[in-house]
Copies of this chain bind each other. A is one copy, B any other.
Amino acid sequence: MDNINKKEFKNTFIKCIEEKGLRHTKQREVIVDAFFSAGRHITSEELFNIVKKKYPEIGYATVQRNLNLLCKCCLAEEIKIGKQKTRYEQKYGNMHHDHLVCLKCGRLIEVNDDKIEKLQEKLAKKNNFTPIKHKLEIYGICADCKSK
């Protein structure tokens, strides 16, 4: 099942780079594979270290560049929390979610609330503002850290 998703993910990427007139390379293959298989919120450095194992000649810049490219293809999104390094989150299609951020362990928990989404639309409209996207982060202490 994960393989099906992976296939879809890669196909979307391929379609996207073809639309842009970009090229298919071995490095891109390896990077996109690794990005899909990695955790949900990875830094460029972490991804670089993973990719290096499969493709030792790869350069850091290539990983960084292709993460940026994934963002342009809407397959990844930057998340910046406090002073942490930018993390890159996988995005399948239009699925959106917000984050609970634990201030103790740094864990990111993905959440969703339709009512909040709708109220945000309303709030924007009230200000004659056309919303395109949004970011909601709730900072606090996660269940695990509370029980410790």
Contact = CB atoms under 8 A, between A and B. Distances in A.
A87 to B, nearest CB: 14
B138 A120 contact: yes
Q: How many copies does the complex hold?
A: 2
Contacts of A140: 124, 129-133
The 8 closest A-B pairs by CB, nearest first: A128-B143, A131-B140, A134-B138, A132-B140, A130-B141, A130-B140, A136-B136, A135-B137
Interface of A: 80, 98, 100, 102-103, 109, 111, 113, 115-116, 119-120, 123-124, 127-143, 146
A111 to B, nearest CB: 6
A47 to B, nearest CB: 20
A127 B113 contact: no
